[in-house]
Chains A and B, each alone.
Chain A
């Protein structure tokens, strides 16, 4: 098992290397560059000076080697848009907030989603089941910035119950600077789509397992409904759920520009878009590598979770017995 995990982490390094090559060559192959004159012409000497300062006057392969030799030492360069800080500092500062948003959203989305899915599955074809299916279809189809606008209109403007945004600046918090009233609207808006997906997937997995022969066997043994569900149904329903729902996690913890700009949250999500638009090469590289790394780790964790749920799964086995 340990050997397998080490192998997977090594493979992840290779993936990050491949991602870095692809992203680097793609962003350099787009015509133009970070210091193109949009507002007014720069004297040629000044422009050459800037390019030289950031090493952009060198051939691309040399720039790549230069970047990577620093990156392996966790030096990801200086963002062109904010030359007074470093990429590493900028990301760690903004990501700290995004992780708060993301984790809270995950807890809300998975908690309520699983609850609704289980309830709908157990009361299959009842009106509650129909309601859950309808609401979750709505949740998947309506974009979160639309939901966000409605939430602001109703709860912040009309009713004036909750602040419009700000993330941690309302002063009414549960613990210190955490779990404040201004967390509620962004988390709800952000959580609705994943919650809908979780609810639908949970329902489908549980309905499928409830039809299995071994569930009938468990009932024939005279076990109570609670025991049948807990011991026989949930355990097996977790297998497809882990597969499908794990992939929601990296998306949620890297933030969303829509949620951040709607609710004035100073998070990481916006940099995925702004760094690309501004041709901020070091930021582009760092954000892409971060996402690739999170996905790689998540898939590894998913595979490890399988071995804990399903005894038939043996990771790294040489052959099937």
Chain B
């Protein structure tokens, strides 16, 4: 892979609470290439959403402490002033959120919500912005865009609203689109449409995507590379086909074993991963997956270092390559 567009290094996000510091993200590093779709997979509370929200500093700073660096277009996003950060948001890096039913403002026309970032960042007139908003609506597959431009969010279905969210995200032709579980609230057929839409737009516009999900089924058909997160850390990082064929981390294996398969006849029930993730206030000094791992040994009392299986496949497990 050539030059990285976005480079996250040793990102930590901690939330001080009255009960102690919640260590939501603990030193994750990854890079995003041009026109690449990177999926970040993990269960609820694994820090995947917080990890990307902190890239755009969308978590109020009084609530959390962010450390590390995020290099993008030659600058560290975490060091930017508030005004510089606003310049980035929606303009160079856009975001699409999980729930399209609550992520659009119910009292504003959708056209207005799509064009407001163009007006903000490019300083063009409302008339020009309107034309652009209608183009965007057509681009994401909203029929009768001209008429629908004037409608309110409640006049659209969930899938349509997520298309509108994507249109708003694409408005300034950002180089990175961060999608935080954009299909979780949608039913399966609509999910497939949204995924196809994003893949097509990624190719056409030449944009990179970070796609957050807990659904490995989506990842297979969508992503180029996958990062598996567990308890605020990346435990495995691999190209999508390698992760599905030869998962190295016991957690990734467990996730894949818990998926139903259509290609093999099996009488076996689906396997679940026993136990619960560790308490993020009292972060374990051992390998965080220790409690739930069926391969654990003495070695696992110390946190694992990065092991490279190949140039593109990395895993954080003492037993990497030996399972």
Binding site for B on A (CB under 8 A): 212-214, 216-224, 227, 231-232, 235-236, 309-312
Contact = CB atoms under 8 A, between A and B. Distances in A.
B111 to A, nearest CB: 13
Contacts of B120: 221-224, 227
B108 A235 contact: yes
Contacts of A232: 105, 108
B313 interface: no
Interface residues of B, number: 27
B108 A231 contact: yes
Contacts of A222: 86-91, 117, 120-121
A312 B106 contact: yes
B80 to A, nearest CB: 12
Given A214-B105, A236-B107, A312-B152, A219 B89 contact: yes
A104 B99 CA distance: 45
Most chain A beta-carbon neighbours within 10 Å: one of B58, B97, B107 = B107
A216 to B, nearest CB: 6
Given A221-B116, A222-B91, 8 more contacts: A214-B102, A223-B116, A223-B120, A224-B86, A236-B105, A311-B106, A311-B107, A311-B154
Given A219-B58, A221-B89, A213 B117 contact: no
B168 interface: yes
A19 to B, nearest CB: 35
Contacts of B166: none
Interface string B104-131: 1111100000001100110000000000
Contacts, number: 76
Given A236-B107, A311-B107, A220 B99 contact: no
Given A221-B117, A222-B121, A311-B107, A213 B88 contact: no
8 contacts: A213-B103, A216-B58, A216-B103, A217-B104, A221-B94, A223-B117, A232-B105, A236-B106
Contacts of B315: none
B101 to A, nearest CB: 9
B95 interface: yes
Interface of B: 56, 58, 86-91, 94-95, 97, 99, 102-108, 116-117, 120-121, 152, 154, 165, 168
A217 B96 CA distance: 8
Contacts of A312: 106, 152, 154
A220 B89 CA distance: 5
Contacts of A223: 86, 90, 116-117, 120
Contacts of B103: 213-214, 216-217
Nearest to B102: A213
B99 A213 contact: yes
Contacts of A220: 56, 58, 89-90, 94-95, 97
Contacts of A219: 58, 89
Contacts of A311: 106-107, 152, 154
A218 B94 CA distance: 11
Given A216-B58, A227-B120, A235 B90 contact: no
A218 B107 CA distance: 13
Contacts of B116: 218, 221, 223, 227, 231
A221 B56 CA distance: 10
A129 to B, nearest CB: 13
A312 B95 CA distance: 26
B94 to A, nearest CB: 7
A221 B168 contact: yes
A110 to B, nearest CB: 21
A219 B116 CA distance: 11
A209 B91 CA distance: 25
Contacts of B107: 235-236, 309-311
A231 B86 CA distance: 16
A216 B89 CA distance: 11
Contacts of B105: 214, 217-218, 232, 235-236
Contacts of B94: 220-221
A227 B58 CA distance: 16
A59 B165 CA distance: 71
A302 B86 CA distance: 37
Contact of B102 (A212, A218, A227, A231): A212
A98 to B, nearest CB: 36
